[in-house]
Amino acid sequence: MAEPIILVTGGNRGIGLEICRQLAERGARVIMGARDKAKGEAAKATLGAAAERITVEVLAVDDSASVTGFAQRIGKSPGHLDVLINNAGIFDKRDANASAVPVEVVEQTIRTNVLGPMRLAQALLLMLRASKAGRIINISSGMGTLHDMGAGSAAYRMSKTALNALTATLAAELTTSRIAVNSMCPGWVKTDMGGPGATRTVAEGADTAVWLALDVDQATTGKFWRDRAEIPW
């Protein structure tokens, strides 16, 4: 694809903003999904020349009406989508051990981190199917891996495990539709969510998502990645 059209949810800050920057600098047309239009435009303005290739659209992934309205708008203009990057997510400060975390925290975390990507994939599927190289990339976390599951932050952990299950399920279902579906772990990144003690830059955290969007062979699907290397679920 010479000039792919790519949606990045939660694109106005952190890893999402860096993904938008890197994609635009590589020649993609980027739709930055943001809950607040003004915040999205302000974030876009920080990206220099890359901003010329970025359009801000209001999108709240935990709101079905917002997702439906967004899908209708981009269905008219640009009327096409090649890649969906499900980056938007939350990590509630009230998250805790599974034996103590408030159930409402789990519900809201899953509504955003799992049902949001699922709702978007369903709403945008026709446009992705029309692409010559449709792709869905889910920003997951090593905290959701079953082979190395730990204690604490139960809502976030469960949401990322479920997101990986969504990835694997969609990948199996969409093989004949030429849509590649993958998850990736950005690592512990210096963002508002990751905090100042994180060990990785936003550029490092965004790299694998950009690689999956633009560089990987279309036959690569149903896998979990970190630093461009496959990792276990």
Q: What is the pLDDT of residue 1?
A: 66
> What is the extent of the structural domain holding 139?
5-230
13 alpha carbon, distance to own chain's centre: 13
Both tokens assigned to 53: 């290739």
Q: What is the pLDDT of residue 2?
A: 74
As a whole number of angstroms, the distance between CA 170 and CA 153 comes to 26
> Is 114 in contact with 163 (CB distance < 8 Å)?
yes
Q: What is the pLDDT of residue 190?
A: 72
CA 82 → CA 14, 58, 149, 154, distances in Å? Answer: 23, 19, 33, 33
The count of domains in the chain is 1
**Catalytic option among 156, 164, 166, 184:** 156
Active site residue 164: no
Which one, of 221, 224, 62, lies nearest residue 139 by Cα? 224
Bridge partner residues of 225 (DSSP): 184, 230
As a whole number of angstroms, the distance between CA 49 and CA 98 comes to 46
> Is 15 in contact with 191 (CB distance < 8 Å)?
yes
Tens digits of pLDDT across the chain (233 residues): 679 999 999 999 999 999 999 999 999 999 999 999 999 999 999 999 999 999 999 999 999 999 999 999 999 999 999 999 999 999 999 999 999 999 999 999 999 999 999 999 999 999 999 999 999 999 999 999 999 999 999 999 999 999 999 999 999 999 999 999 999 999 878 787 777 877 789 999 999 999 999 999 999 999 999 999 999 99
DSSP structural state of residue 148: T
> Is 57 in contact with 32 (CB distance < 8 Å)?
yes
Which residues lie below 8 Å from residue 39, measured CB to CB, with a gap of 6+? 12, 13
CATH of residue 107 = 3.40.50.720
